[in-house]
Amino acid sequence: MRIHDPLALAKTLSPFDFQVLEPFNDAAFCMFYGDRLATSSWELHPDTDELLMVLSGRVTVEILTDTARHRLPLTTGQFTIVPKGHWHRHIDADEVVELFLTPGTTLESTAADPRAPGTATTDVTPELTDRSI
């Protein structure tokens, strides 16, 4: 059993660093710190929804559907669920500390529009380590 303090940990990270905090069932609670980040890479989770919760700061999450772009500005204490199968990214990050839970595969793309046919993706699913109590 451990106590985790993502806000304290964020002070030790570089902008847009992420950290696995603790395994949880078949996934893990993770966090990242972002500051003065104009745009992150795109992510897609083909087999799961993703929880994104802002612990401090602010960020906008951009989510792509088949025909539209949705921008959700989040501030301290707010969260959103990104539905499985939707490309999304972070834009306009300002001192954001975010807790996230992604219980499945994570694909990444640096394309301008990852929905385009033939777009290259990379599997960036974090490796989980077994931690005993």
CATH number at residue 16: 2.60.120.10
Position 131 in a domain: no
Q: Which amino acid is at 30?
A: C
Q: How far is 93 from 35, CA to CA, in rounded Å?
A: 5
Is residue 128 over pLDDT 70? no
Q: What's the mean pLDDT when you consider all of the chain?
A: 90
**pLDDT over 90, % of the chain:** 70
Dmax (CA) for the chain in angstroms is 47
Q: How far is 71 from 64, CA to CA, in rounded Å?
A: 9
Position 112 in a domain: no
Query: pLDDT band at residue 133, thresholds of 50, 70 and 90?
Result: very low
Position 133 in a domain: no
Phi, psi (deg, nearest 5) at residue 90? -100, 135
Q: 10-39, pLDDT tens digit by residue?
A: 989 888 788 889 988 888 899 989 888 778
Q: How far is 21 from 7, CA to CA, in rounded Å?
A: 12
Q: 43-54, pLDDT tens digit by residue?
A: 999 999 999 999
**Full residue range of the structural domain in which residue 35 is found:** 6-105
Q: CB of 55 within 8 A of CB of 79?
A: no
**Mean pLDDT (whole number) for 78-86:** 97
Domain count, the chain: 1
Position 68 in a domain: yes
Is residue 57 over pLDDT 50? yes
**Mean pLDDT (whole number) for 77-103:** 95
Show the tokens assigned to 129.
């380590």
Position 127 in a domain: no
Position 16 in a domain: yes
Question: Given this model, what pLDDT does residue 49 score?
Answer: 96
Position 38 in a domain: yes
Q: How far is 55 from 42, CA to CA, in rounded Å?
A: 21
Among 34-43, 74-83, 87-96, 105-114, the minimum mean pLDDT is found in 34-43
Question: Given this model, what pLDDT does residue 129 score?
Answer: 57
Please name the residues in contact with 101: beta carbons below 8 A apart, sequence gap of 6 or more.
24, 27, 28, 29, 30, 50, 51
